Structure 1
Amino acid sequence: MRRRANQAEVELTPLIDVLFILIIFFVLTASFVQGQIPLDLPDGRGTPPQEQGMTISMTEDGSLYLNDSPVDREALIEGARMALDQGKSLILVADRSIPYGEVASLLDMLRANGVSSVGLGLKGTEP
């Protein structure tokens, strides 16, 4: 009796290990993607608006200014309401180093107090 030569076999265990590692990688990276608000932000070029409204500034240390005058949150809300009653636009400009969550909470605070029409300003660039 003759023995048969060993037949070549494909080992599936390493292949399955690699596939599980890939699945784990994709699951972990997919969980880091957070929900995002779709925004189409302007690039800062173009003509400036004809009528200047009121500017709300937020500095790096969290200080608030209304048209370059320091204000607290209550005075900011009152000044913003008066500006809207006069038909002026409101533009919020914030320091680049401020986390956007703080800017969003300021916008939420304004919106909760009846000031819903606030634009976001950015540093202008020359075309």
Structure 2
Amino acid sequence: MKLRDRRSFDKPEVMIIPMIDIMFFLLVFFMISTLSMVDLKTIDVNMPKAQHVQTNLAVTYLVTVRKDGSLWLEDKPISEDDLIERAQAENKRTERFAVAVRADEDVDYGKLMELLDRFKGAGISRFALAAEGK
């Protein structure tokens, strides 16, 4: 039986292209899974639609005003006085404190302005009004 010479065997090679494919697959997988982990603690409201909407997830307080006029801080109901007190205390602690208000499109405009006026009276000057993109 004749065996091949040791020098005739190919040297082992590392296949780079499949490794790059796997790395890109893992990158995409982790990007998508990270996006699904973002947990916005909010409740459902029928927000008004706007064409030029910007997304900003770096808001300190997310306040929701439902159609019945109830106020929610993230996903918990709260009274207006407690909301203003907490926001005022947080505003003193945090330099770039901001409040985003998500309001149902059927909420009375006057009630929304009263809430914003109370925030302004508490010394909070950074507001955002949330809307859904078209």
TM-score (norm 2): 0.53
1:72-98 deviation line (CA, Å, top 9, x unaligned): 111101222244332342101111111
Amino acid at match of 2:62: T
Structure 2 unaligned segments of length 5 or more: list them. Answer: 1-49
Q: Distance in 2 between matches of 1:109 and 1:50?
A: 23
Which residue does 1:62 correspond to in 2? 69
Q: How does 1:36-51 map to 2 (within 5 A)?
A: 43-46=51-54, 48-49=55-56, 51=58
User: What percentage of residue pairs aligned between the two structures are identical?
Assistant: 27
1:45-74 deviation line (CA, Å, top 9, x unaligned): 45x225243201111111001111111111
Runs (4 or more) in structure 1 with deviation over 6 Å come to none
Higher relative contact order (CA 8 A, sep 6+): 2
Q: Distance in 2 between matches of 1:80 and 1:100?
A: 21
Structure 1 unaligned segments of length 5 or more: list them. Answer: 1-41
Q: Distance in 2 between matches of 1:82 and 1:60?
A: 27
Q: How does 1:1-127 map to 2 (within 5 A)?
A: 43-46=51-54, 48-49=55-56, 51-84=58-91, 85-86=93-94, 87-125=96-134
Classify the secondary structure of the residue corresponding to 2:85: helix
How many residues align? The count is: 83
Classify the secondary structure of the residue corresponding to 2:51: coil
CA RMSD of aligned residues (A): 2.1
Q: Distance in 1 between matches of 2:106 and 2:57?
A: 29
TM-score (norm 1): 0.55
